[in-house]
Homo-oligomer: A and B are copies of this chain.
Amino acid sequence: MTRIAIYETTLRDGMQGHGMSLSVEEKVRVAHVLDDLGIPFIEAGFPASNPKEAELFDRLAHESLRADVCAFGMTRRRDVSADQDPALRVLADSFAPVCTLVGKTWSLHLEKVVKVGRDENLAMIAESVAFLIAQGKRVIYDAEHFFDGYRDDPQYAIACLRAAAEAGAENVTVCDTNGASLPHEIAAAVRAVVAAVDAPVGIHCHNDAECGVANSLAAVAEGAVMVQGTMNGYGERCGNANLTSIVPSLQLKLGHDCLPTLEGWTEAAHYLDELLNLTPDPNQPYVGKNAFAHKGGMHVAGVNADPATFEHIDPAAVGNSRDVLVSELSGKGTVIAHAGGALDDATATRVVERVKELEHRGFQFEAADGSFDLLIRRETGDYEPLFRLESWRVITEKREDGRVQTEATIKIWVDGQRYVRVAEGNGPVNALDSALRAAIGERYPHLRDIKLVNYKVRILDEWKATGATTRVLLDATDGSETWGAIGVHENVIEASWDALVDSLEAGMVRSRAPSA
Question: With A and B bound together, what is the CA distance between A340 and B218 in angstroms?
Answer: 41
Q: A184-B221, A293-B237, A455-B466 are in contact. Are A393 and B390 (CB under 8 A)?
A: no
Q: Is the C-beta of A442 less than 8 angstroms from some C-beta in chain B?
A: no
**How far apart are A35's CB and chain B's nearest CB, in angstroms?**
22
A102, chain B: closest CB distance, angstroms: 12
13 sampled A-B residue pairs with Cβ under 8 A = A16-B296, A18-B366, A19-B367, A112-B305, A113-B305, A210-B213, A237-B292, A238-B290, A277-B463, A391-B398, A425-B466, A427-B490, A427-B493
> A184 CA to B419 CA in the complex, in Å?
66
Among residues of B, the one whose C-beta sits closest to the C-beta of A281 is B281
Q: Does A214 contact B (CB under 8 A)?
A: yes
The quantity of this chain's copies bound in the complex is 2
Is there contact, CB below 8 Å, between B183 and A427?
no
- B214 touching A183 by the CB < 8 A rule? yes
Complexed CA–CA distance, A93 and B109 (Å): 61
With CB as the reference atom, state the residue of chain B lying closest to A235: B283
Give the nearest-CB partner of A241 in chain B. Answer: B210
Partner of A295, one of B210, B236, B426, B452: B236
Q: Tell me the bound Cα distance from A454 to B463 in angstroms.
A: 5
Give chain A's interface residues, CB within 8 Å of chain B: 16-19, 21, 23, 25, 108-109, 112-113, 178-180, 182-184, 207-211, 213-215, 217-218, 221, 233, 236-239, 242, 245, 248-249, 253-254, 277, 279, 282-286, 288, 290-293, 295-296, 298, 301-302, 305-306, 308-313, 324-325, 364, 366-367, 389-400, 404, 406, 425-430, 433, 451-459, 461-468, 470, 474-475, 489-494, 496-497, 500
* Residues in chain B near residue A298, CB distance under 8 A: 113
Given A396-B393, A398-B391, A455-B462, does the pair A109, B309 have CB atoms closer than 8 Å? yes
On whether the beta carbons of A397 and B391 are closer than 8 Å, the reply is yes
